Amino acid sequence: MKHRGFTLIELLVVIAIIAILAAILFPVFAQAKRAAKASADLSNQKQLTLGLIMYAGDTDDIFSDANSNDGDSNTFTRTWVQKSAPYIKNLPIFQSPLDGKHDAPVASWATASCE
């Protein structure tokens, strides 16, 4: 009775073919990942713009200054990010997925109280 198995050469050829296919596909997957992050970044920009337009609609079509105290010298200075936060409700959209730091916490100036 004769047992037929794979020879070492046949196994090495199969491994070489798999390695070549992997080398071809890895850059394609990396490019697709970059394109997905760019698409997410564009979506974040759209959501940010819509939030700012909603804010302006509620404030007589006036966009916020970069920093202002709403005419009350006793209140702390709020940034446009803090003023528009109730309309945006997703502060991580200020961080681009393309910068590679998407797991980093949102800066403290963005999460300060909006009241």
Residues 44-53: tens digit of each pLDDT = 899 888 888 8
Residue 109 has pLDDT above 50, yes or no: no
Give the torsion through C-alpha atoms of 37, 39, 30, 22, to 10 deg.
130
- DSSP letters for 13-40: HHHHHHHHHHHHHHHHHHHHHHHHHHHH
Residue 105 has pLDDT above 60, yes or no: no
Quick: pLDDT tens for 54-103: 888 888 887 766 555 555 555 556 677 777 888 888 778 888 888 876 55
The pTM for the full model equals 0.59
pLDDT recorded at residue 77: 62
What span, in angstroms and rounded, lies between the C-alpha atoms of 33 and 41? 12
pLDDT recorded at residue 91: 74
